[in-house]
Structure 1
């Protein structure tokens, strides 16, 4: 018998109140909290499964004075708003029909039925909230020990139920795996084209989650070799991945945290049009698209004046472009981008008529100020005198 190790989150007083409210034999901790605790990793969210129907969960929470939000009640999910972190509580389910994009489910009464509809064995581990005894229906404990990501049941069938599981497989493999599962690898390769039927938002979410992991380079290379990456990023079809590998090394050497968009930019050719098309296709936000486009406009001479680069394009984009070149970012650390100490009104006061000529002079002074390394206002005034002369 395997028990869930004691962890900070298992000692939460508000969780004890939740368990008492719903009944310890009618609720189980499940999924990431169980998996990550067994791996001695930090637990971010606590999810629970229950034999209670959603309306009964709501009634019990109300009786206990616990605020409940029906975040996904049509799928059986209620969010309990708790002092130490919200908890999602989902009624046991089993699939009735699937089409690769969404599933029709019905509520179930058996824990094993609920486990059978989950994606990977390591995500189908249930822990009793009081005894902490773990129920393992598909060998997830052994797979976790061997760091193997394995689909529950037939891998191809599980992917046909939800095509996004291909990307989830690679993400979990990059995060937890070391031993490759042959069936999973073959199924993902064989069914890669099914990813085209998914919503772009779902693809973007999984892809960015994969790219922000500490070092996904081995997994990205495998996705590339297996033809999976080119399905979701056709821009990579004729590329090599040397820029991506160099970026991972540069981030590590400069002790700069991973950024998913920076790494996504490393998988694209340095072309504005490619970034614009991808940003639109993946339904990225305006800010995300702006950063991706800035990355795509990188030049080989960016490293010649890193501070000028940061002034013109912002610190984040400057660091992105320097790292993509494998350049040192030390000069930008703890450097505050200065404000240009000259306004157009001052030029007008010197007798220049308001209009294009003021803008031209202002731009010329600013360019020289940047190239000279952002000197003080006295030098800016001197530069202005030279331009006016």
Structure 2
């Protein structure tokens, strides 16, 4: 029997404490499931630990209380309790079966059947269980193999899994971006057939999933599959420039940049105010996200790869380092030296203000006009004039 007994997280004192508490109520009635098991088999880092249990939520709470482990009823109506040991959370969920689904949410009932619990999950590699010793259980019969080969395959009938929760369409592509070694054609066909179901899903949930997908080390193949299947047209019809994403991946490698979901989204859409506003509105981006993408698409931001040192500093002052860096990263050129210069730049401080203008006798609208004129002159002088020079110049504008 395959095992993950050597996993560090499995042997950790916090993990042992939680499992011992649960086993004290029902020996062998609790198993690890999902990402912690999958990632261990795939040699990936484990961030979160989920536990499936035959205990009902009230019994879980009682078991944790007896062991003096902090318990939080985070989703108790759906069977989930969070145990916290030394600030480390463990999400514990009672085995469930679906009673009713509508593509957005499910009504569930508790069960003690591991196969029923596995059958309501999305992909076979997410339905692998491990007991306290690390021994593995694979109710679907394909999860362990899928984890070893990087196959993202729906449990049972793909269309049925998607009709239960249409957000699984995006999860299919996200898991392929992060874990897949080749997209399952049957699963892809099911996503194409069911893609209109995404219109029922809250936009915030769609953007969250898409954002996670774009954060993968290389989401290119998954995004291209989304485009060809028509899924991308449902959630972001402006995002058609997959070749831009491939170009960005080359640039990311050159400058050793970390994955940036926002930059990757920009690579997929036209650099225009109309496209930016449409995508921002459709995905209900945050104010910060909208501001960043809008600055990148500004009409008055020229190609930074054509700048010399002085012009680059001028653009950085007016547009900000983020916008200039975004435009550079998406230029399709070797921008290693340019990115280095952008990262090294520190915005100079314009050291003259309204009180200085009033002190030289300016009043009303003349104050703002004089300060703008002075700042523009200072910038044209490559930020070299100091405060004394600025004040002398300001006096001449009186």
TM-score, normalised to structure 1's length?
Answer: 0.93
Using the TM superposition, give the Cα deviation of residue 386 of structure 1 relative to its aligned residue in structure 2, in angstroms. Answer: 9.0
Query: 1:161 matched to which residue of 2?
Result: 164
Per-residue Cα deviation, 1:50-98 (whole angstroms, up to 9, x for no partner): 1000011111111211111111111101111221511100000011111
Using the TM superposition, give the Cα deviation of residue 18 of structure 1 relative to its aligned residue in structure 2, in angstroms. Answer: 0.9
Query: 2:383 matched to which residue of 1?
Result: 374
Q: Given the alignment of the two structures, is residue 265 of structure 1 paired with residue 271 of structure 2, yes or no?
A: no
Q: Given the alignment of the two structures, is residue 78 of structure 1 paired with residue 74 of structure 2, yes or no?
A: no
Q: Given the alignment of the two structures, is residue 324 of structure 1 paired with residue 324 of structure 2, yes or no?
A: no
Using the TM superposition, give the Cα deviation of residue 168 of structure 1 relative to its aligned residue in structure 2, in angstroms. Answer: 0.4
Does the C-alpha gap of structure 1 residues 218 and 300 become closer, same or farther in structure 2, counting only changes over 3 Å? Answer: farther
Using the TM superposition, give the Cα deviation of residue 382 of structure 1 relative to its aligned residue in structure 2, in angstroms. Answer: 7.6
Per-residue Cα deviation, 1:185-244 (whole angstroms, up to 9, x for no partner): 1111222221111110110110000111121112212211221111110123xx433333
* Partner SS, residue 28 of structure 2: helix
* Contact in 2 for aligned 1:365/1:380 (Cα 8 Å): no
1:208 to 191, 201, 211: 211
* Contact in 2 for aligned 1:365/1:387 (Cα 8 Å): no
Query: 2:370 matched to which residue of 1?
Result: 361
Using the TM superposition, give the Cα deviation of residue 378 of structure 1 relative to its aligned residue in structure 2, in angstroms. Answer: 5.2
Q: Separation in 2 of the partners of 1:247 and 1:306? A: 21
RMSD of the alignment, in Å?
Answer: 2.0
* Contact in 1 for aligned 2:360/2:395 (Cα 8 Å): no
* Partner SS, residue 17 of structure 1: helix
Does the C-alpha gap of structure 1 residues 274 and 240 become closer, same or farther in structure 2, counting only changes over 3 Å? Answer: closer
Matched ranges for 1:282-293 at <5 A = 282-293=283-294
Question: 185-194 or 291-300: which moved more?
Answer: 291-300
Query: 2:245 matched to which residue of 1?
Result: 244
Q: Separation in 1 of the partners of 2:63 and 2:33? A: 20
Matched ranges for 1:96-245 at <5 A = 96-129=99-132, 131-138=133-140, 139-236=142-239, 239-245=240-246
* Contact in 2 for aligned 1:159/1:165 (Cα 8 Å): yes
TM-score, normalised to structure 2's length?
Answer: 0.91
Q: Separation in 1 of the partners of 2:92 and 2:389? A: 62
Q: Given the alignment of the two structures, is residue 256 of structure 1 paired with residue 257 of structure 2, yes or no?
A: yes
Stretches of structure 2 lacking an aligned partner (at least 5 in a row): none
Per-residue Cα deviation, 1:29-61 (whole angstroms, up to 9, x for no partner): 110001111111111111111100001111111
* Contact in 2 for aligned 1:101/1:163 (Cα 8 Å): yes
1:41 to 40, 44, 48: 44
Which runs of structure 1 show a deviation greater than 4 angstroms over 4 or more consecutive aligned residues? none
* Partner SS, residue 344 of structure 2: coil
Using the TM superposition, give the Cα deviation of residue 263 of structure 1 relative to its aligned residue in structure 2, in angstroms. Answer: 1.6
* Contact in 2 for aligned 1:268/1:296 (Cα 8 Å): no
Q: Separation in 2 of the partners of 1:265 and 1:302? A: 16
Q: Separation in 2 of the partners of 1:89 and 1:199? A: 26
Q: Separation in 1 of the partners of 2:225 and 2:247? A: 17
Q: Separation in 2 of the partners of 1:8 and 1:249? A: 35
* Contact in 2 for aligned 1:92/1:114 (Cα 8 Å): yes
Stretches of structure 1 lacking an aligned partner (at least 5 in a row): none
* Contact in 2 for aligned 1:33/1:43 (Cα 8 Å): yes
* Contact in 2 for aligned 1:37/1:43 (Cα 8 Å): yes
Q: Given the alignment of the two structures, is residue 337 of structure 1 paired with residue 340 of structure 2, yes or no?
A: no
Using the TM superposition, give the Cα deviation of residue 176 of structure 1 relative to its aligned residue in structure 2, in angstroms. Answer: 1.1
* Contact in 2 for aligned 1:50/1:92 (Cα 8 Å): yes
Does the C-alpha gap of structure 1 residues 73 and 250 become closer, same or farther in structure 2, counting only changes over 3 Å? Answer: same
Does the C-alpha gap of structure 1 residues 52 and 290 become closer, same or farther in structure 2, counting only changes over 3 Å? Answer: same
Q: Separation in 2 of the partners of 1:10 and 1:246? A: 41
Does the C-alpha gap of structure 1 residues 197 and 383 become closer, same or farther in structure 2, counting only changes over 3 Å? Answer: farther
Q: Separation in 2 of the partners of 1:134 and 1:206? A: 29
* Partner SS, residue 96 of structure 1: strand
Question: 250-259 or 369-378: which moved more?
Answer: 369-378
